[in-house]
Structure 1
Amino acid sequence: MLRDKHVASFTPTSGFAIEKICRKINFNKRNVIVEYGPGTGVFTRYLLAHSTPDSILILIERNEDFAHIMQETFQDPRLFIFHESAENVEQLLLYCNEQQADYIVSGIPFSFLPRPLRELIVRNSYRCLKEGGMFLGYQTFFQIDRFLKDHLDCDFDKVETEICVLNVPPLKIFEAVK
């Protein structure tokens, strides 16, 4: 976090928070799931364990060290790992021979990004989701709405927010449905 301003937290997301967010995902069918900012893989591990054998998981990690850790840690044919930035999600889906995603799980710290980049990531995320697809974002709970929620409200049909206090720091969870 001290060397890379795009790292959101000193601590990984808690198991409780991961389960709370992932309850919104239907794991009983083939999914294309994109994960923005997987870090060291705590969400990735959960997503792989619960996804069907024909599901696809696309990881987009901006931090080179974390991308390398992910490549060393996970050897799963359902997994695509990119050292990239989230605004390029559409091109990365096409690279994986997928047109659209069912879910996007995002832990990237939107408050650290300039406004035009926040808008671009949300807009591109909306465009690449299937009808009824979900953007599931989580941020530290003290972040104000202008960093993410306001952008989601501009593009998505339905946006709900909830707080998860069983995490350090507590999280604000966003569920945006296309």
Structure 2
Amino acid sequence: MRELRSSNNIGDVRRFFRAWLSAPLRVAAIMPSGSALAGLITSEISAATGPVIELGAGTGVFTRALIARGVPEDKLVLVEYGADFVQLLEQRFPRARILSADAARLGEVELFDDSDAGAVISGLPLLSMPPRKVMAILDAAFSHLRSDGAFYQFTYGPRCPVPRVLLDRLALKAIRIGGALANVPPAAVYRIRRRPPRSVISMRKTQSRGSTGKRLLDLSEA
């Protein structure tokens, strides 16, 4: 069994290397992500998350991790642009919905009948894309996410791969959830969510000030 698993890994590395040679800006990695990164980027996912969309599914490293977290295969939508990877995903995950598509145009596709996705897992090389493309991808992804849904993105860079100006324009907030130093190369993962409406923020501040005043009043009466 170990030999078979090792053989599959070698084959996946070769596929990635060939894909990188033919389109280095689109693939942006010479080998698949490792298990440490797959574990980190799926660490907040469970069966309760609901449907999950994976962008740039590649050879299915993150897909396997999602299934191991309890997400049913038939609740996965795998989006992949490379034809060779699409074929491989169809063989490995026959019950998942696999789309051969540009992630930036995902908003034009109906994905779910009964509910929106709870999470998007992205393996796309956002750092190598122009800002307009990144904005289109995020806009399309969030059109399929529930209001409390999250977009998870990894990066090899030192900071969030989505510039602050784009986050502000789309009313999104990014938080670094951890790093995978064992990955080759080392990577970090960010969770991106919608910002709460300003009215909600104002209400929270008012409630916070009110509770502080009440505590002071209670102390003075003691």
> TM-score interval w.r.t. the shorter chain?
0.7 to 0.9
User: For the aligned residues, what is the CA RMSD?
Assistant: 2.2
Sort the Cα spacing of 1:157 and 1:30 in 2 relative to 1 into closer, same or farther, 3 A. closer
Count residues in correspondence.
Answer: 172
Gaps of 5+ in 2: 1-19, 195-222
Secondary structure of residue in 1 paired with 2:29: coil
Secondary structure of residue in 2 paired with 1:9: coil
Separation of aligned partners in 2, 1:153 and 1:89:
21
1:1-178 paired onto structure 2 within 5 Å: 1-4=20-23, 5-25=25-45, 27-29=46-48, 31-53=50-72, 56-76=75-95, 79-92=96-109, 94-97=110-113, 100-142=116-158, 145=160, 147-150=161-164, 151-161=166-176, 162-178=178-194
Separation of aligned partners in 2, 1:140 and 1:68:
27
Deviations 1:67-106 (A, max 9, x none): 1111122222xx10011011122333x1443552110000
Sort the Cα spacing of 1:54 and 1:167 in 2 relative to 1 into closer, same or farther, 3 A. closer
Secondary structure of residue in 2 paired with 1:70: helix
Sort the Cα spacing of 1:149 and 1:32 in 2 relative to 1 into closer, same or farther, 3 A. farther
Percent of pairs with identical residues? 24
* TM-score using structure 1 length: 0.85
Higher strand share: 1
C-alpha displacement of 1:152: 3.5
Separation of aligned partners in 1, 2:114 and 2:33:
28
Higher helix share: 2
Gaps of 5+ in 1: none
User: What is the one-letter code of the residue matched to 1:2?
Assistant: L
Separation of aligned partners in 1, 2:169 and 2:181:
27
* 8 Å Cα contact 2:49-2:118 kept in structure 1: no
Deviations 1:120-163 (A, max 9, x none): 11122223211110000012134x54x42433454254310243
* TM-score using structure 2 length: 0.69
Structure with the bigger RCO (C-alpha within 8 Å, sep 6+) is 1
Sort the Cα spacing of 1:19 and 1:54 in 2 relative to 1 into closer, same or farther, 3 A. closer
